[in-house]
Chains A and B, each alone.
Chain A
Amino acid sequence: MTFFSKRIAILCATVFLSTLVASQTFRTCASEDRAVTFNRDLAPIVFRTCAPCHHPGEAGPFSLLTYGDVKSHARQIADVTQKRIMPPWLPESGEWKFNDDLHLSPEEIALFRKWVEEGMPEGAASDLSPAPQFNSGWHLGQPDLILHADSSFEVPASGSDVYWNFIFRLPDKKTRWVKAIEIRPGERRLVHHANLIVDRSQSSRRQEKSPGSGFPGMELQIESETFDPDGHFLFWKPGTIPVPEPRDMALRLDPGNDLVLNAHLQPAGKAEKIQPAIGIYFTSEPATKFPLLLQLENDRKLDIPAGEKDFVVTDEFKLPEAVSLLAIYPHAHYLCRDMLAQTKFPNGETKTLLHISRWDLNWQAVFTYTAPINLPAGTTISMRYSYDNSDANPANPNTPPQRVVAGNRASDEMAHLWLQVLPRSSASDAQGPRRVLQEAIARHHVENNPDDFEANYNLAALLQARGEFAQSVLHYQRALALRPGDATVENALGGAFFAAGDLSQAIVHLSVATKSRPEYFDSQYNLGLALATSGQFPQAVEHLRAAVNLRPQDADAEANLGGALAAAGEIKEAILHLRRALELDPQHKLARENLDSILKDSPNP
């Protein structure tokens, strides 16, 4: 009631200011005690903030599209809006606005309560705005490519939340640019949210018991590509309408890439199967702008004693380059209560990027700013998360509370803040600032977690790409010490030695990689190349042949196998593979040169 009175007072003042000649009768606000009606007052709020999920086929357990629908849940709606449980919207209102903001003002919330108290009048039919129309098919029209999960997953009738991963294997044989992906997770009442992640190395497939079976797990670790290398959030939550990427920011998908859907599922009283699908919309325009995902985190500091009510974890990162901040994605598990992300500008001014005072994992989301926020070089971004590990936190997964540390399970915790930024690169150097940012954030992670495998591996890979071989070898070796014999690191380390010209060390590490994982294409190919470069052609042929068997559509592997065979004196077979390389890629320069050279030397082999 207090809020309502306040609202009327403000409304009166506004009307008075804008209509100075209004009559005294109007200014005393005859409508102060005006009945709240569904058609005039509530329908616009319900249609905007409830109906997107509460309509047939969507996640809401009942429809909220008509007066009757809303009336039969009226007290419940008044209650859950008052408690800010619905509509689900985590951020507090702040200086910067987000797209699809579902936040209700105190005045809007008071309307629901008053309507119930007044007997829920429907109001005049002429006051009712048209109910929103929802598309039951693909929101953006027929996709260019529709992929279905290979197998369904049965969500049990009861128990705690379930996390399941579905792998979508891309059939494309060439690089494609994606302007939009629509995620259709299946029975929406069961899916709380889902993240789609690009797996460029097919590393998730190794977690499946059988191809296409999918696999459990709350958090995904994608080898070599930590989250999404191109910097796109592909996120689904109930009510999501897919938004195409800006024209110049298409997502690249290469042949052999997998898309992994990490779905958070909630039992709903009866066992039900879900089989998600994704629809992909391609564009012929390659990206010219490359956003980047920066992650602040401090999982190492997460060691929360049982019963601790306010355990604080912080991290901060100083931007070495100017960026535009596009979106923000906070992530923690069940103990986190309060999240604060701030930015301190070079002039010392501090502003809040995001504040969530009642974190609820179930309603996590990517929040996209309505307009990009310009952050100059030298700006410091900080995060401060607070955790409640007492029994006063109903979401606490442990009864009684237990000590909790960082980890991937639902009963572990996390302290992550992802920022989608667009480096403000110059026309002459589109990738330079991006690389500087990537390396800075990778170095930041190594400083935070000197003994973290991924942090060292990622920094090493970035240093290697920049030609800093000595430093990259150092961090690869640190990663290897943390995970001895890891085929991915052995392959990368071999590659670093190869690039530095140390062929014997390269062959040592690549051999370890191929022995530990014979089906690893990269290591077979690299070892074949290193052996060929050192003149060991028969051995090179063996490994390049293995590479070709693993990936028969790879023109480079065919061309190099042809080259190695020719050098080993196997001319007839060399010609076969060089021709095959040219079939796969008619412009393949190496295959063309080698084939021409062979045919010139031995025109009738």
Chain B
Amino acid sequence: MLSRNNHAARIRLAAALLACSAASSAAAQTAFTLEGKPLNPFPGPPGKPIVLIFVRTDCPISNRYAPALRNLFDSTYHLLATFWLVYPDKKTTPQQIRTHVRDFKFGIAALRDPNHVLVKRAGATITPEAAVFDSSGNLLYRGRIDNLYADAGRSRTAATTHELKDAIESAIYGKTPMPASAPAVGCYISDLE
């Protein structure tokens, strides 16, 4: 009796461990909401492009883009595309992200991507950098938001090209964005690994 009980307990324990391992493995393949729930942005609602914007709380260039991103989101695009602000730094806590989103008035829903699942899917290397997917999750554009920065520390008075806005418009109309990529300027995501 005793022996059987012990055995049963061992079995249950093993099952629990297995379940835990499966959950951990699944979690490693997703990003997370700020409440800690796994969230996969793909696929999105039919016909709605998905826009990921990779940012970092301590990157001055991505901070400086906050008003421009907010303007883009506040335009009609937020009705026609799904926007996610993606934080790839695993050391940044949900509370730090909430504060950052509030202080800089992004107004865009934020995801944590500590395992760089979205980073890899988009091929993002920089913050700030944007990726535009069709609703099925096919990458259409990856790169800078606009050309405000010619290089780190060398910015124009105002941007003269607006690659992200153009790419979103193309995706909304079902066209292939041109260009499909443009080099972003900012902070390296690989520094966070």
Q: A-side interface residues toward B, CB under 8 Å?
A: 61-62, 71-76, 79-80, 83, 85-86, 88, 157-158, 160-161, 189, 267-270, 334, 360, 362, 394-397, 399, 410
Contacts and interface: CB of A to CB of B under 8 A. Distances in A.
Task: Enumerate the 6 nearest inter-chain pairs by beta-carbon distance, A residue then B residue, closest first.
Answer: A394-B150, A158-B67, A269-B63, A61-B60, A269-B66, A85-B153
B42 interface: no
Interface in B45-70: 58-60, 63-68
Interface string B151-165: 111111110100000
Nearest to B159: A399
Contacts of A71: 191
Contact of B190 (A75, A85, A394, A410): A75
Chain B interface main SS type: mixed
Contacts of A157: 66-67, 104-105
A71 B192 CA distance: 8
A342 B129 CA distance: 44
B152 A79 contact: yes
B35 interface: no
Contact of B103 (A72, A86, A270): A270
B187 A76 contact: yes
Given A61-B60, A270-B66, A394-B154, A76 B103 contact: no
B153 A269 contact: no
Given A86-B152, A270-B104, 5 more contacts: A76-B188, A85-B153, A158-B64, A334-B157, A394-B150
Nearest to B57: A62
Overall SS of chain A's interface: loop
18 contacts: A61-B58, A75-B191, A79-B152, A80-B153, A85-B151, A85-B154, A86-B152, A157-B66, A157-B67, A158-B64, A189-B60, A267-B67, A268-B64, A269-B66, A360-B153, A360-B154, A395-B156, A395-B157
Nearest to B188: A75
Contacts of B105: 157, 270
Nearest to B189: A75
B115 to A, nearest CB: 17
Contacts of A161: 157
Contacts of A62: 58
Contacts of B60: 61, 189, 268
Interface of B: 58-60, 63-68, 91, 103-105, 150-158, 160, 187-188, 190-192
Nearest to A77: B191
A63 to B, nearest CB: 9
Contacts of B67: 157-158, 267, 269
Contacts of A270: 63, 66, 103-105
B120 to A, nearest CB: 17
A79 B154 contact: no
A208 B49 CA distance: 50
B152 A85 contact: yes
Nearest to A71: B191
Contacts of B156: 394-396, 399
B4 to A, nearest CB: 52
B191 A86 contact: no
Given A73-B191, A160-B157, A269 B58 contact: no
A504 B150 CA distance: 64
A572 B68 CA distance: 71
Contacts of B153: 80, 85-86, 88, 360, 362
A80 B152 contact: yes
Q: Which of B64, B65, B103 has the most CB of A within 10 A?
A: B64
A86 B103 CA distance: 27
A88 B152 CA distance: 12
A161 B63 CA distance: 15
Contacts of A83: 151-152
Contacts of B192: 72
B30 to A, nearest CB: 24
Given A158-B67, A268-B60, A72 B191 contact: yes
A218 B62 CA distance: 27
Contacts of B63: 61, 268-270
A412 to B, nearest CB: 13
Contacts of A72: 91, 191-192
Nearest to A60: B60
Nearest to A72: B191
A157 B65 CA distance: 9
Contacts of A74: 191
A166 to B, nearest CB: 24
